[in-house]
Structure 1
């Protein structure tokens, strides 16, 4: 049986490789769709419930692929101004995924969240036969006044709520690899913990939306449903967890994670955890997966992680003028031509040395 890190590493490297994408354009602007047969055929390390999904629910695997790619794109957005910017060049990204550092924790969490989000959304959009809208009536009542101009209004659960439980289970089924019975290691425990933190960042932050019904704009009845947070909100929340991530070591029982340091509370299910310190990512290093920051754009006036002092690791930076031609002073002429002039736009970029 393969360990979690090897299985998920193989999955990530396959899902994220552009050469493995088969573009099936439904219409102009449609997203790329992964061919699930390619995933299941080429990713040899899949086993157990993962292999079962490939055989019985290939359309779910397609959503898994889209979710993983969306998760990495969100990672690139959240880390766009940091020394490590979630680059997915295989010669570097492979090394990142092989370590138990904070950056790896975020990648695992956001991709698991992305899969949960994408599968759940596909259910709500009617794109999967196995699921649909969440029609559960077991939710607690919505708060007074939510989605209406009146308090004390009658309400009922309805609409098309997001069935996040289905997306959660499918993400857990595919992203969490099986382990040998009775065998645990720090890598497996850390990766499983971060996968769960990503899924919970979606599942535990569902919000209630309501619509009013009644004559002449009155709100005599509200129909309410549960909706997921958008993935940007999930990414921002996980970035906060990344900033406060816990360094851990394995417990003596082989099943628990213990925070490193004194008087530190144990991490809860929403926290991100890691067991090894990150490199500084200042210079290219294939061994650590660092692409370096030379040539990166920085902000010469900022004092945060995007500032040139931090991003360039004290090496300094150079100013470069960029000249771009854009349409400007456009006018509409009857009928029916738009005529524009060409304007030269000059901007200054600060680039790390």
Structure 2
């Protein structure tokens, strides 16, 4: 996939109401023409002319931080786009069997992101996590000149069996860049939707930062492992996304606090959400039928599992409308044998498969 040029990408970031929708769009090849079209419009050029990058107060500096990254750190920008791609891939994996399957259809996605539902919470969190992840990886692999491995952890374990060393992943730098790029534009806003978005962005970053793994290497004669050197390593991103999916399932609905600056659970008996929890303020549509207002594409034509009582089962996925079954035939290798030496021979078998699709 080609990356957008830094100016094009950043101009769009400055124009849209939901910056996460831009990163999400950047992850889909089919959506790449939209930012380019917007960037050619006169209002985008006028926006840049007004924003002359002078530090006219703290609020203006915060708004221009994204543009500074785009102009001065194009390598970081590339990692940000990679992070959006990574988040897209994992979202589609986590929601592959649900009514909303994290589609990247442009109009549908925009409608979904424009609201403040559980799905929006997950999107914001997984993209923030993806950006943190890819920037951190780029630091450790030497692709970014402004950061290196994390060498702040030093010392020996209490029992003397291992010591900190090696090339630890610099998650602090990844966390910082993700926060700067995703949050800077919204830091001075206090409306409910912005507070919810910033909270979920942070939850995504913490799902990476707070779950670093410890890896070690043995030293000693003949692999005796008389001493081990250990360092901190990024978790698997699949584990990060799975953790966020669990947070999605347990997300709390929130309302503004009496002071207008805080957010509290809608139900007073519910425990206030922690920093790693996901929150939302609007109920999700059922996504059963196409709806232009909500962005729902419906579930007609989706493949379902007729024997499962779960979310991928035909009863739930098809919303009670029923399903149709068709039989497909596929030719596959079968009865394979290994012949000495060195050849594998197989027969060709025809396999019948029943495919269920929602009405």
Short-chain TM bin = 0.7 to 0.9
CA distance, structure 2, for counterparts of residue 265 and residue 307 of structure 1: 32
Relative to structure 1, the CA distance from residue 158 to residue 42 in structure 2 (aligned partners, 3 Å threshold; closer, same or farther) is: farther
The aligned counterpart of 1:149 is: none
C-alpha deviation, 1:325, in angstroms: 2.0
The aligned counterpart of 2:30 is: 18
C-alpha deviation, 1:336, in angstroms: 8.2
Q: Deviations over 1:38-97 (max 9, x none)?
A: 799679589511100011100100010011111011001001111111011011100000
Q: Deviations over 1:116-140 (max 9, x none)?
A: 111111111122111121111258x
Relative to structure 1, the CA distance from residue 223 to residue 175 in structure 2 (aligned partners, 3 Å threshold; closer, same or farther) is: same
Does 2:20 align with 1:8? yes
Aligned length: 328
SS in 2 for 1:178: helix
CA distance, structure 1, for counterparts of residue 282 and residue 107 of structure 2: 20
Q: Deviations over 1:154-191 (max 9, x none)?
A: 3221111110000001111111142374x411111011
CA distance, structure 1, for counterparts of residue 16 and residue 64 of structure 2: 12
Taking structure 1 as the reference length, what is the TM-score of the superposition?
0.85
CA distance, structure 1, for counterparts of residue 38 and residue 178 of structure 2: 16
Instruction: Return the match for 1:119 from 117, 135, 143.
Output: 135
Conserved in 1, the CA contact under 8 Å of 2:23 and 2:84?
A: no
The aligned counterpart of 2:178 is: 171
- Structure 1 range deviating more: 102-111 or 209-218: 209-218
Q: Which has the higher helix share?
A: 2
Conserved in 2, the CA contact under 8 Å of 1:4 and 1:176?
A: no
C-alpha deviation, 1:326, in angstroms: 2.6
Relative to structure 1, the CA distance from residue 338 to residue 39 in structure 2 (aligned partners, 3 Å threshold; closer, same or farther) is: farther
**Matches for 1:130-145 after TM superposition, within 5 Å:** 130-137=146-153
SS in 2 for 1:18: helix
CA distance, structure 1, for counterparts of residue 32 and residue 209 of structure 2: 30
Unaligned runs of 5+ in 1: 22-36, 145-151
Conserved in 2, the CA contact under 8 Å of 1:4 and 1:177?
A: no
Instruction: Return the match for 2:286 from 237, 256, 280.
Output: 280
**Matches for 1:151-166 after TM superposition, within 5 Å:** 152-166=159-173
The aligned counterpart of 1:84 is: 100
The aligned counterpart of 2:234 is: 228
Unaligned runs of 5+ in 2: 1-12, 49-62
Instruction: Return the match for 1:95 from 111, 119, 130.
Output: 111
RMSD: 2.8
Does 2:63 align with 1:51? no
CA distance, structure 2, for counterparts of residue 334 and residue 209 of structure 1: 41
Instruction: Return the match for 2:83 from 67, 73, 77.
Output: 67
CA distance, structure 2, for counterparts of residue 205 and residue 236 of structure 1: 13
Taking structure 2 as the reference length, what is the TM-score of the superposition?
0.83
Conserved in 2, the CA contact under 8 Å of 1:14 and 1:39?
A: no
